[in-house]
Structure 1
Amino acid sequence: MGLDKNHCFSRRELRRQDRRESILAVAAESFLDSGYAGTTMSGIAATLGGSKGTLWSYFSSKEELFASVIERATADYRALLSEILEAPCDDLALTLKRVCASILEKVTGPQSIALHRLVVAEAGRFPEMGVIFYDRGPRMTHTLLAKFLADEMARGRIRNDDPLQTARILASMCVYRTQQQLLWGVIDHTTPEAMEADVDRAVDLFMRAYAL
């Protein structure tokens, strides 16, 4: 009997997880298509075909729902970045190139560009969404990279500086051209060659400034 109860509980949990994923997928599409202001809990519930009460049982507010959408969009990348930073490698420049390539690939993807435009366009009216986006996106990336750079400073491979500020400098240098051109609509796509050039330039400048 105990096994049957556990089995039923597991199935209920799986159904709940599947339902949550469905909500997040619909919400992500709504935020990108209709904006933060134009997205409502009622509208999402109607798209899903359920009641607003059911939706509220998963997310207590639109702000919480937006936070979960951002978390869903960034979780896989944080895992990838951690894997890159933790991989044994004596070539610091090579590791930093891998890091910068991963950052640039992430922020130049169509969904990332659309999300970034959304946040910039609406954060003035809804500052909470800007905070959520920063906390679960750039801040976490910078924090992971800062820990790695702090370890490199402690090993005497790069000069001492504020690790978090150093991480922000490196991340900014690798995205300054291609990402900004995509955001502004100057270009509608990029190429592997252009991204590789951006990464090489960023790491070269960083190593000139910080390598001992």
Structure 2
Amino acid sequence: MDTLSSQRAGRAGRPTREQAQARQAELLDTALDMFLDRGFELTTMEGIAAAVGMTKRTIYARYAEKSALFLAAVTRAIERTATTTAELHAVESADLEATLIAVARLRIADLSTVDGVRLRRIITTESYRFPEILMLSYDQGARPLADFLADLLRRHDSAGAICVERPDMAASLFMTMVLGGPVRLIASPQAMSPAEIDEWVGAAVRLFLNGVTRR
């Protein structure tokens, strides 16, 4: 057998990059499900290995301890629910009111997905044990939106359309106004309907713009 044939034979059965990535995603998703169902303390690496069909040795080779696997699973969930800068710019228009409404709807939609609800649950139940996931969620989830809004408001202020002394603070206040009700109620029996969310968003945007309109 020549060298090339030997190399091919040695690679036989080795998963492709796509397969390896899919298995990694499956591991993290399965781990997150188990952490949600059982809590961090009662979830074991052995149980995760059995559920995903991997050996403990394989998992420990990637994550030396359970906390590392937990943080990796939460990080993946945050990345999957993050509203990207590209998505935000895609809904921007010259009309500030329309842009704010579109941005709010986009963010609420991202947080209303199955992944978004799971993420909120895990942060609520485990942030006391892992306070870093709160900052991680903000840095990767909320900060890009806050930065986009601050820049948007700054540009409209410079153009004379509105008056905003602290665009960064105004952006945070807007996010609190527009996201607070809908997001807080997402997984509750009192969850808002699409029509109610549209009404809330429209009212919040009009109230916000009334406060920053030049007099």
TM-score by length of 2: 0.77
Residue 166 of structure 1 corresponds to 170
1:203 aligns with 2:205: yes
1:37 aligns with 2:41: yes
C-alpha deviation, 1:140, in angstroms:
3.6
1:133 aligns with 2:131: no
- Cα root mean square deviation, aligned: 3.1
Residue 157 of structure 2 corresponds to 153
1:106 aligns with 2:110: yes
1:121 aligns with 2:132: no
Superposition pairs of residues 165-184 of structure 1, within 5 angstroms: 165-182=169-186
Instruction: Report the secondary structure of 1:124's partner residue.
Output: coil
| Worse-superposed segment, 163-172 or 145-154 | 145-154
Q: Percent identity?
A: 26
Superposition pairs of residues 2-41 of structure 1, within 5 angstroms: 12-41=16-45
CA separation of 1:25 and 1:208: change in aligned 2, threshold 3 A: same
Q: Is the Cα–Cα contact under 8 Å of residues 84 and 95 in structure 1 kept in the other structure?
A: no
- Residue type of the partner of 2:200? D
Q: Is the Cα–Cα contact under 8 Å of residues 36 and 122 in structure 2 kept in the other structure?
A: yes
Counterparts of 1:99 and 1:20, CA distance in 2: 32
Counting matched residue pairs gives 206
Q: Is the Cα–Cα contact under 8 Å of residues 82 and 144 in structure 1 kept in the other structure?
A: no
CA separation of 1:20 and 1:79: change in aligned 2, threshold 3 A: same
Structure (1 or 2) with the larger CA radius of gyration: 2
* CA-to-aligned-CA distance 1:137-162 (integer Å, 9 cap, x gap): 22343234333333333443332333
Segments of 5+ residues of structure 1 without an aligned counterpart are none
Superposition pairs of residues 186-201 of structure 1, within 5 angstroms: 187=190, 189-201=191-203
| Worse-superposed segment, 90-99 or 136-145 | 136-145
Q: Is the Cα–Cα contact under 8 Å of residues 20 and 58 in structure 1 kept in the other structure?
A: no
CA separation of 1:210 and 1:106: change in aligned 2, threshold 3 A: same
C-alpha deviation, 1:87, in angstroms:
4.6
Structure ranking higher in helix proportion:
1
Segments of 5+ residues of structure 2 without an aligned counterpart are none
- Name which of 95, 98, 106 aligns with 1:91: 95
C-alpha deviation, 1:172, in angstroms:
1.0
Instruction: Report the secondary structure of 2:135's partner residue.
Output: helix
